[in-house]
């Protein structure tokens, strides 16, 4: 069954389809109405560098990253091992207010765009974006430390395997009360299509959670909604998953509450979030699994990690270097 999608940004158009004939038909239709130029297979789109071989597709933002380093004067800097020092606790009161906050805001804005291929910096960038209204010298130094980390591997991106099976897998985690300014928890989630990372998020929860279980369950419910959204996208593309959707968490209380009709009565304060996930478990769409904290991939999206745990998780997020793939396929 033929399916195709058009991604349009101003005058740039990307066509995705499972049929060469359908692509040709769309191009011909557009050419009749507009003056168009066919650039062939996608190699560069809105700062994204794309390469493919028999194993799959690799996407990165190497040029964008190098331009960012050059503009900051850090092309020759000594690289940092991790994007954020886990010993540093950033708050609104940390440091001295910057006399001119424009450079900080511009830097965070550019780093946010880089996050679309760099899940490894997502937590720290979103943490730093919380201080846009009151940046200090300490916040600015932390942002420059992210750049120094990027110097390690500016060509790092994501790899989408051509042989991975079509199934959705989600990881949900939360760091309870981690924000020193508001005591709100941080949700981390990542969604895989087979072994390929297709979505990830790090964000502060809307309300204060009164327990770690509540914070974890809010993250579970948020990830469930994200999985439902991707299921609908696959349906629109006429793609049928080959296996039941799996959701992994590292809190046993979550699996008990979601799978048991009685346990959720003891946690009325999370009843809505509880039923969000429970209903999908009962419908057969979702299956919950418990895993150890060291294997919780979403942990990299909830807090700054030390060198060992950071790279242990990063290597499992389908991260790759576009240029190393090109060399291996040459």
193 has a pLDDT exceeding 70: yes
Percent of the chain with pLDDT over 90: 55
**Parallel/antiparallel/unpaired status of strands 44-45 and 12-17:** unpaired
Q: Which of 259, 318, 311, 248 has its CA nearest to residue 80?
A: 311
Percent of the chain whose pLDDT exceeds 70: 90
Element (H, E) at 158: strand 156-161
φ/ψ of residue 52, rounded to 5: -140, 150
pLDDT tens by residue, 55-107:
899 999 999 999 999 999 999 999 999 999 999 889 999 999 999 999 999 99
Domain ranges of the chain: 1-40, 62-156+319-329, 165-291
Q: What is the pLDDT of residue 329?
A: 43
Cα 244 to the center of its chain, rounded Å = 22
State the first-to-last Cα distance of the chain, in angstroms, to the nearest integer.
Answer: 33
Planar angle of CA 264, 281, 294, nearest 5 degrees: 85
Q: Taking 50 as the threshold, does the pLDDT of residue 325 lie above it?
A: no
pLDDT, average across residues 216-231: 92
Predicted local confidence at residue 327, as pLDDT: 40
The two tokens of residue 134 are: 């009151």
Residue 224 β-bridge partners: none
Q: Return d(Cα 128, Cα 106) in angstroms, integer.
A: 12
The Cα-based distances of 23 to 12, 15, 234 in angstroms read 16, 7, 19
Tell me if residue 1 falls in helix, strand or coil. Answer: coil
Number of H helices, E strands in the chain: 10, 12
Question: What predicted TM-score, i.e. pTM, was given to this entire model?
Answer: 0.87
Which of the pair, 17 or 245, is modelled with greater confidence? Answer: 245
Of 196, 217, 206, give the one whose Cα is nearest residue 297: 196
Q: H-helix or E-strand containing 219?
A: helix 212-236
H or E element, residue 320? strand 319-321
pLDDT at 1: 66
**Helix ranges (DSSP H) in 20-174:** 20-33, 62-71, 102-114, 122-128, 137-150
> In this predicted model, which residue has the larger pLDDT, 176 or 260?
176
Q: Which residues contact 194 (CB under 8 A, 6 or more apart)?
A: 161, 164, 165, 166, 167, 169
Element holding 150 (H helix, E strand): helix 137-150
**Cα 252 to chain center, whole Å?**
24
Mean pLDDT of the chain: 88
Q: Which tokens in the block code for residue 15? A: 């066509």
pLDDT in tens, 246-255: 999 887 766 6
Of the candidates 56, 60, 63, 69, the residue with the CA atom closest to the CA atom of residue 117:
60
Which helix (H) or strand (E) element contains residue 68? helix 62-71
For the chain, give percent helix, strand, coil, nearest 5: 45, 20, 35
Has domain 165-291 been given CATH number 3.30.420.10?
yes
**Which helix (DSSP H) or strand (DSSP E) does residue 188 occupy?**
strand 186-193
């Amino acid at each position: 069954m033929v399916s195709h999608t058009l991604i349009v940004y101003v005058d740039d158009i990307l066509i995705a389809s499972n049929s060469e004939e359908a692509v040709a038909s769309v191009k011909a239709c557009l050419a009749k109405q507009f003056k168009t130029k066919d650039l062939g297979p996608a190699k560069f789109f809105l700062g994204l560098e794309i390469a493919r071989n028999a194993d799959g597709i690799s996407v990165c933002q190497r040029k964008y990253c190098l331009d960012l380093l050059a503009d900051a004067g850090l092309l020759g800097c000594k690289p940092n091992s991790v994007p954020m020092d886990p010993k540093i606790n950033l708050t609104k009161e940390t440091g001295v207010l910057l006399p001119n906050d424009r450079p900080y805001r511009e830097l965070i804005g550019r780093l946010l765009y880089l996050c679309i291929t760099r899940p490894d910096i997502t937590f720290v960038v979103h943490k730093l974006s919380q201080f846009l209204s009151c940046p200090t010298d300490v916040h600015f130094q932390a942002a420059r430390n992210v750049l120094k980390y990027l110097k390690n591997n500016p060509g790092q991106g994501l790899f989408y395997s051509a042989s991975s099976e079509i199934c959705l897998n989600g990881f949900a985690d939360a760091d309870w009360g981690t924000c020193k300014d508001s005591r709100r928890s941080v949700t981390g989630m990542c969604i895989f299509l087979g072994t390929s990372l297709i979505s990830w998020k790090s964000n502060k929860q809307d309300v204060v959670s009164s327990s770690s279980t509540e914070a974890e369950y809010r993250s579970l419910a948020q990830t469930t909604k994200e999985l439902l959204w991707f299921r609908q996208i696959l349906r629109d593309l006429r793609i049928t998953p080959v296996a039941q959707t799996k959701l992994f968490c590292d809190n046993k209380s979550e699996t008990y509450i979601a799978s048991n009709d009685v346990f959720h009565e003891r946690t009325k304060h999370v009843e809505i979030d509880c039923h969000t996930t429970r209903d999908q478990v009962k419908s057969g769409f979702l299956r919950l699994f418990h895993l150890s904290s060291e294997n919780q991939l979403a942990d990299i999206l909830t807090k700054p990690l030390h060198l060992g745990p950071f790279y242990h998780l990063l290597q499992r997020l389908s991260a790759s270097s576009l240029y190393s793939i090109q060399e291996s396929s040459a």
